[in-house]
Structure 1
Amino acid sequence: MRDHLPGDADLTALPPLQDVVVQLFSHRTITEPIRVPAVVEPLLVLVLAGTARVEERVLDGPWSAATVRAGDFYLTDTQEPYEMRWQTLEGDSFEVMHLYLGLPFIEQAARELLGPQSTAVALLDVSGARDETVHWLMESMRRELLDQRTPSLLCLRGLAQTLAVHLLRHYRAPQGVIRRSNALQAYKLRKVIDAMNAQLADEFSLTRLARTAELSEYHFSRMFKRATGFSPSQYFIGLRMARARQLLIETQRSVIDIGLEVGYSSPSHFSQVFRREVGVTPSAYRQA
């Protein structure tokens, strides 16, 4: 998500976990839709502060809107990437917590609650609801991660397992809706995108990224596109352009220097790609 947000968004970095991926965002109004990846784990979003009108849609579908405030949450278990945008209300601050809940927690809860064969269960999609148990568990995880000098993995896993049990009891999809198991895992997607951002000035390497994801090139390409809607090379170019747009707006560096930073030694090639992806030349984008 953080790679789709404009440059003025703040991300609070949290200790990396494999089975629980947590990110905190503070941002203003987002008018241009952002694309939320579809990974194997369900995504929970808790509104921590502020009020906003949030709109969602499947790709190219109609928008649905809801006004949300602190304490509201979203639960997404979609098999396809989707888009969202929002407008802040009653001030500029809008803070949210994203939590990808690892499948081991879901599967263990399913075995206990539904029997040893019931592991590939799916969850409902929930938009802008309130649930005090979800709120308390996610807020407890946030405090453990931020307030403790050395966060306890045992505590975090206990909270995550309790959250999985609660979700299965109250938000399980009807029988017959089966969770897919061949999607990209959230922590692997995070590792790959972090690697892309660290290598924007380098030549694109599918081999290197597939190695980061611990997958063959074929399976990595297929699963990455399923998660994001873009091929790895298209996504890499998008990150380059996002970084270039940020530098054009926030710095006075020359267009040539910015092109070099994002991997284009030829100013004409940088301008060509930028215009194709953004719609205007780098100089026109800065002036606008």
Structure 2
Amino acid sequence: MLHALPGVPRRVTFVPAMKDVVVLLFDHQTINEPVWVPVVAEPLLVWVMSGAARVEERSPGGEWAAVHVHAGDFFLTHTREPYEMRWQTEGAEPFQVMHLYLGLPLIDRAAREVLGTEAPPVAFPDVSGARDELVRLLLDPLRRELLNERPPSAMFVLGLTQALAVHLVRRYRGTGGQRPRRNALQAYKLRRVIERMTAGLAEDFHLADLAKIAELSEFHFSRLFKHATGLSPSRYFIRLRMERARRLLRETDRSIIDVGMEVGYSSPSHFSQVFRREVGVTPSVYRQA
């Protein structure tokens, strides 16, 4: 999500060993162009820390479903396919959200605690714009810990997220017809791969290097990555290049040639061809618009 969403990340925390819990804090502006939310193995909880917005979600090719959210509301996502979302902020207060990826080992420990040692793997239904007082009571001190303490206590963060996992299993676990995504890419691996892609936009694409980062074979990595994002690794890499190019064209006066070279295209004509295919117009037309 750190690279999928256009908000400004305020803080990123991983504990322990960057696998059990990933916490991201964002400041969000209105976004009218839909963004893709990837599928990963772990459930994702998004909590609105401040502000309000009209949030729309849809499955690929489906109809938009809207919900109005305010500080204290949350989303719980455990879908089997990528989906799109967009939002319109409301009011003058900043729209700030917290994203938590809860690792499968953490969820499994909570399930065994609540349901017994023979508990099957837990899956959660999708929840949009709900309000839960205990969720708020657990996440508000987590927010303060991450923003105010230098450094934040991993033990404190883990204790709060363990309590949250137990509560989610107790109250929100799905019915017997649902199955968790055990064959999906783990969030921390997806994060590492996309960070490497983003850092190397001016370089050639190398599938083998990315698969090595994910600790998977090239075939297995490609399959799981496409399941997570809806795109092959090479297509996702091109999307990241075009997102960087669009931002440079909007926010700087650098020449189109310089922009193309920064995102890996030494040939202006090739850059223009790829940009037009991906965005729908040439770089010069996009800048003028």
Q: Same fold (TM over 0.5)?
A: yes
- Cα distance, 1:22 vs structure 2: 1.2
User: What residue number does 2:8 align with?
Assistant: 10
* Aligned alpha-carbon RMSD (Å): 1.2
TM-score between the two structures when normalised by the length of structure 2: 0.96
Q: Deviations over 1:206-244 (max 9, x none)?
A: 000001111110010000000000000000000000000
Counterparts of residues 201-280 of structure 1 (less than 5 Å) = 201-280=202-281
Q: Any conservation in 1 of the 2:11–2:25 contact (CA below 8 Å)?
A: yes
Counterparts of residues 55-70 of structure 1 (less than 5 Å) = 55-70=56-71
Counterparts of residues 135-146 of structure 1 (less than 5 Å) = 135-146=136-147
Distance 2:120 2:108 in 1: 5
Stretch of structure 1 that moved more, 231-240 or 97-106: 97-106
Q: Any conservation in 1 of the 2:57–2:86 contact (CA below 8 Å)?
A: yes
Q: Any conservation in 2 of the 1:80–1:226 contact (CA below 8 Å)?
A: yes
Distance 1:203 1:101 in 2: 33
Distance 1:4 1:166 in 2: 28
Distance 2:101 2:271 in 1: 36
User: What residue number does 1:49 align with?
Assistant: 50
User: Where do 4+ consecutive residues of structure 1 move more than 4 Å?
Assistant: none
- 3-state DSSP of counterpart to 2:269: helix
Distance 1:198 1:266 in 2: 21
Counterparts of residues 1-288 of structure 1 (less than 5 Å) = 1-6=1-6, 9-16=7-14, 17-91=18-92, 93-288=94-289
Q: Which letter maps to 2:270? A: H
Q: Which residues of structure 2 form unaligned runs of 5+?
A: none
- Cα distance, 1:180 vs structure 2: 2.2
Aligned length: 286
Distance 2:13 2:135 in 1: 21
Q: Percent identity?
A: 63
Distance 1:4 1:14 in 2: 15
Q: Which residues of structure 1 form unaligned runs of 5+?
A: none
Q: Any conservation in 2 of the 1:29–1:92 contact (CA below 8 Å)?
A: no
Q: Which letter maps to 1:12? A: R
Q: Any conservation in 2 of the 1:35–1:83 contact (CA below 8 Å)?
A: yes
